[in-house]
A and B are shown apart, each in its own frame.
Chain A
Amino acid sequence: MATAGFRPCGDFKSDYASDTRIFDTAASRWWCVGGVLLLCLLPVVSETVFDLKYELSLLIQIGYLGVAALGLNILVGFTGQISIGHAAFFGFGAFASPFLNNNFGIPVFFAIPLAGLMSTAVGMLFGIPAARLKGLYLAIATLAAQFILQDFFGRADWFSGGTHGAPAGPFTIFGFAFDSDASYFYVVLVYVVALYLAAANLMRTRDGRALVAVRDHYLSAEMMGINLTKYRTMSFGISSFYAGIGGALYGHYLGFVSVEGFTILFSIQFLGMIIIGGLGSIMGSLMGTAFMVLLPEVMDGLTGALAGTPVDIALGLKDNLAYLREVAIGVTIILFLVFEPDGLAHRWQQIKAYWKLYPFSY
């Protein structure tokens, strides 16, 4: 029955394979596939019909940040650990990929996944304390990772170019360089789709369930044969892998990586993304990232529209209009924590549930 209708009115699955799919109906799967195909058309439209360069750059940003945010969500949302050093791992990936490319001549095509693996190693190293620490103590331990790595970027000239930063070559396949927004968009899209699918798969198999079990009740998880040390450290590894890939995509997009970007503020922003999107939700990671990237744009538009209006004059905002943007981000996070602690993903589920039964209330 999985083929019928948008949403069947009951559970008509007749085999286990159809009951374990990522998308519970064929309709939702085709919507998703269709969405991705539409996105594929976007650069073409941008090149030919009307200019969408800026929108494309925003989407690319959502893409690479979304990959890294998913990593943090696996760590925080699915495994129940905490990290406030995620930007450092993101930065490590951003430096590692150009480092491999510049020093060893490894093509960017291979350097990006390799950078992910290098970040995994570093993340697991810093994740070792996670096997013993919990809550605030772990937060402080990951804070140490943030500062140690940030300092390392500033000093390790051989790795990151030190204060000068590192040039990052373009992504090339068979001599074709993906050096414009329109072409690089596809690279990011492929990574986003592949890594989000991988995470969705992981979460419906043995090791993903083990991670969630560790989060929900670590004592009984241990009694079920789950090695807590292994899975806590592994969670840091997976999280850093995603961060590293995200960082590498970012590096090759900008073409130049400087040491300033990977601050604790950036780490907190990652946390903001997954809280707004929904802890423990895969699609929520992407929704939250999109929200965090687009919110400043919307606020920019708003403040721009406000400038010079009676409201502006009455409140005497004048030069302070720009700060409204920062305030809005803070206020949004607080509002989400109060009114929708389960994030955008949960809200989306509720909207879907509402339409499933429309026009009846139950």
Chain B
Amino acid sequence: MGDGITRPSDRILEVEDVSLAFGGVRALTDVGFAVAKGELFAIIGPNGAGKTSMLNCISGRYRPQKGTIRFQGSDVTHLSPNHRATIGIGRTFQNLALFGHMSVLDNIMVGRHHLLRSNVLSGALYWLGGAQKEELAHRREVEEIIDFLEIQHVRKATAGTLSYGLRKRVELARAIALKPELILLDEPMAGMNLEEKEDMARYIVDLNEEWGMTVVMIEHDMGVVMDISHRVMVLDFGRRIAEGLPAEVMAHPQVRRAYLGVADDEEVADEEVAEDGAEAGAGR
């Protein structure tokens, strides 16, 4: 694959020929890409291009009909979502998916689920079974995440009562609490104002550079994508039409066509795009 990843051992995530269809709707067709460890990888594409479907395949929400997904060298295509979380895949959602009636703190503590060891019995006995000690130790780590994302002032607030931008941040905090190797962000900046976007971009870059997490991000804001991502993949109608450095991808004629449309005879052109996309995919 011409993805610029030199050593195969560097690949934390490998997606090969993944196809996903809902009845007659082909959400993804033979999509393949690889993400290197420590990379900040962006998936872009017009609405309905299959970006979120791709993320759902990686996180286990959907099972692709064809193709394999490998994480850190092992095949995870058929693992359940909760199992994937335990091996180091975390994610956030496009439309907020916080636990609305829990406090922010509890929401983030849920992210520690697979790292905690207490069970029903030791939990109920709290002081005797070591559950308290464990809770407090993890609370300390969670507080570090809270510090990092600057949500100290709302840590006791009920998640459902927060503003949109804060909820997005809490969701990111919850995903970080999983201590994932790979974090999947589904439109982390959607619906935010400029200031919130700048903050979020900074958090994502810090996450990538300082915390060493590999990030796969879907984002519509091209400015952000161009600025912070290392490599970009473009999906259109469920096919991969381009992949490469941000500048390369932007200059790609098919990408321009996918985003801006074509002036003359749209239907014919669309078919051409699809065919070209298939060729491009096969050629790589």
B113 near A226: Cβ-Cβ < 8 Å: yes
Report the nearest B residue to A237, measured CB to CB.
Answer: B120
Q: Is B191 an interface residue (CB 8 A)?
A: no
* Contact status of A17 and B82, CB under 8 A, knowing A199-B124, A206-B116: no
A202 near B61: Cβ-Cβ < 8 Å: no
The distance in angstroms between the C-alpha atoms of A212 and B98, with both chains bound, is: 12
Interface residue from B83, B102, B123, B139 paired with A207 (Cβ < 8 Å): B123
Report the nearest B residue to A20, measured CB to CB.
Answer: B135
Q: Mark B108-140, 1 if CB is under 8 A from A, else 0.
A: 011111101111101111100001100110011
Q: Is A220 an interface residue (CB 8 A)?
A: yes
Q: Is A222 an interface residue (CB 8 A)?
A: yes
Chain A residues within 8 Å of B81, by CB: 222-223
Q: Is B106 an interface residue (CB 8 A)?
A: yes
Q: Is B33 an interface residue (CB 8 A)?
A: no
Q: Is A225 an interface residue (CB 8 A)?
A: yes
* Contact status of A16 and B110, CB under 8 A, knowing A206-B123, A219-B61: no
Chain B interface residue count, CB cutoff 8 Å, equals 45
Q: Mark B85-103, 1 if CB is under 8 A from A, else 0.
A: 1100011010001111110
B136 near A20: Cβ-Cβ < 8 Å: yes
A201 near B131: Cβ-Cβ < 8 Å: yes
Q: Is A205 an interface residue (CB 8 A)?
A: yes
B118 near A205: Cβ-Cβ < 8 Å: yes
* Contact status of A225 and B178, CB under 8 A, knowing A17-B136, A201-B124: yes
A201 near B126: Cβ-Cβ < 8 Å: yes
B98 near A16: Cβ-Cβ < 8 Å: no
The distance in angstroms between the C-alpha atoms of A220 and B120, with both chains bound, is: 21
| Of B91, B110, B125, most A-chain CB atoms within 10 Å | B110
* Contact status of A212 and B102, CB under 8 A, knowing A201-B124, A202-B123, A224-B111: yes
B178 near A224: Cβ-Cβ < 8 Å: yes
Interface residue from B99, B122, B132, B174 paired with A212 (Cβ < 8 Å): B99
Q: Is B59 an interface residue (CB 8 A)?
A: yes
Chain B residues within 8 Å of A219, by CB: 61, 97
Chain A residues within 8 Å of B174, by CB: 224
Chain B residues within 8 Å of A225, by CB: 82-83, 85-86, 113-114, 178
A227 near B135: Cβ-Cβ < 8 Å: no
Q: How far is the CB of B88 from chain A (nearest CB, A)?
A: 10
B99 near A220: Cβ-Cβ < 8 Å: yes
Name A205-220 residues within 8 Å CB distance of B: 205-210, 212-213, 215-217, 219-220
Q: Is A49 an interface residue (CB 8 A)?
A: no
Chain B residues within 8 Å of A234, by CB: 120
Interface residue from B82, B117, B125, B178 paired with A198 (Cβ < 8 Å): B125
Chain B residues within 8 Å of A201, by CB: 123-126, 131
A213 near B110: Cβ-Cβ < 8 Å: yes
Q: Is A238 an interface residue (CB 8 A)?
A: yes
Q: Mark A179-209, 1 if CB is under 8 A from B, else 0.
A: 0000000000000000000110110111111
B93 near A220: Cβ-Cβ < 8 Å: yes
The distance in angstroms between the C-alpha atoms of A167 and B273, with both chains bound, is: 81
The distance in angstroms between the C-alpha atoms of A206 and B120, with both chains bound, is: 8
Q: Is A228 an interface residue (CB 8 A)?
A: yes
B101 near A204: Cβ-Cβ < 8 Å: no
Q: How far is the CB of A293 from chain B (nearest CB, A)?
A: 26
Report the nearest B residue to A234, measured CB to CB.
Answer: B120
Chain B residues within 8 Å of A116, by CB: none
B101 near A280: Cβ-Cβ < 8 Å: yes
A16 near B120: Cβ-Cβ < 8 Å: no
A217 near B118: Cβ-Cβ < 8 Å: no
B118 near A206: Cβ-Cβ < 8 Å: yes
A217 near B116: Cβ-Cβ < 8 Å: no
Report the nearest B residue to A238, measured CB to CB.
Answer: B120
Q: Is A221 an interface residue (CB 8 A)?
A: yes
The distance in angstroms between the C-alpha atoms of A201 and B178, with both chains bound, is: 23
Q: Can you list 13 contacts pairing A with B, beta carbon distance less than 8 Å?
A: A19-B139, A201-B124, A205-B126, A210-B113, A212-B106, A213-B113, A216-B98, A216-B102, A219-B61, A221-B99, A222-B85, A223-B81, A223-B90
Binding site for B on A (CB under 8 A): 11, 16-17, 19-20, 198-199, 201-202, 204-210, 212-213, 215-217, 219-228, 234, 238, 280
New contact pairs (20) apart from A205-B118, A207-B120, A227-B80, CB-CB < 8 Å: A16-B136, A17-B132, A20-B132, A20-B139, A202-B123, A204-B126, A206-B116, A206-B118, A206-B123, A210-B113, A213-B99, A213-B110, A213-B113, A220-B93, A222-B81, A223-B59, A223-B60, A223-B93, A225-B85, A225-B113
